[in-house]
Amino acid sequence: MRPLLIILALLLANAAADCDVLQDLCVADLTSELKINGYTCKNAATVTRNDFFFAALANPSPINNNTLGIAVTLGNVEKGPGFNTLGVSVARIDYAPGGINPPHSHPRASEVIFVLEGELEVGFITTANVLMAKQIKKGEVYVFPKGLLHYQKNIGVGPAAVIAASNSQLPGTQSVAASLFSATPSLPDNVLAKAFHIATPEAEKIKSRFAPK
């Protein structure tokens, strides 16, 4: 019984996305070459209140007619050193009409989105291949569990925007299509062809669409 209790305690201790902090603050020293599962702390004497301030999400980012019709503005430890060791990050996502944040996952965090404006279709897929999808609008919230594939699509007639928050200072993002078709070195065409039930030339054609312009 005792070994089982120890195992359960260890599992619960590791349930959080990021490690617990051991001091009041640890503002990231982004100039340091030393990385130990994150960023080292800068000298406390050089810390200012501006290290904990981040204004980049106040206004929409230009979408510039990209193929997805979205613009993502990140607020994480790489953008604001005060995020370091706090286990949180934020982002603003702006969507043109019809814009889509395609299927992707965050390997290190769960995510919650709050709709600032517009109407979206959102959803995630469980490991049992069940789609949990819903239409949400201004003022509403939706949650995406850690590591599961999810997406958002603007289904309104005008622009849409959300604030997304994650329980990791660097949740990471892995897009299904981009990861599979633009990996370096590239995945073998025959692997992609068999996985997607397509011909090898079609796999090559899709890869070409993801090649750097």
For residues 138 and 115, the answer to whether their CB atoms sit within 8 Å is yes
Tell me the pLDDT tens digit for each residue of 34-51.
877 778 999 999 999 999
Q: How far apart are CA 106 and CA 50, in angstroms?
A: 28
Q: DSSP class of residue 21?
A: P
Q: Is 150 known to sit in a ligand binding site?
A: yes
Interatomic CA distance for residues 193 and 187, integer angstroms: 10
**101 annotated ligand-binding residue:** yes
Residue 95 has pLDDT above 80, yes or no: yes
Q: What is the pTM of this model?
A: 0.85
Structure tokens of 42?
């800068």
Is the per-residue pLDDT at 151 higher than 70? yes
Higher pLDDT, 21 or 14: 21
117 labelled ligand-binding: no
Q: Is residue 111 part of an annotated ligand binding site?
A: yes
Beta strands in 111-192 (DSSP E): 111-117, 119-125, 131-137, 141-144, 150-154, 160-166, 174-175
> What is the CB neighbour count within 10 angstroms for residue 82?
19
Q: Give how far the C-alpha of residue 135 lies from the chain's centroid of Cα atoms, to the nearest Å.
A: 20
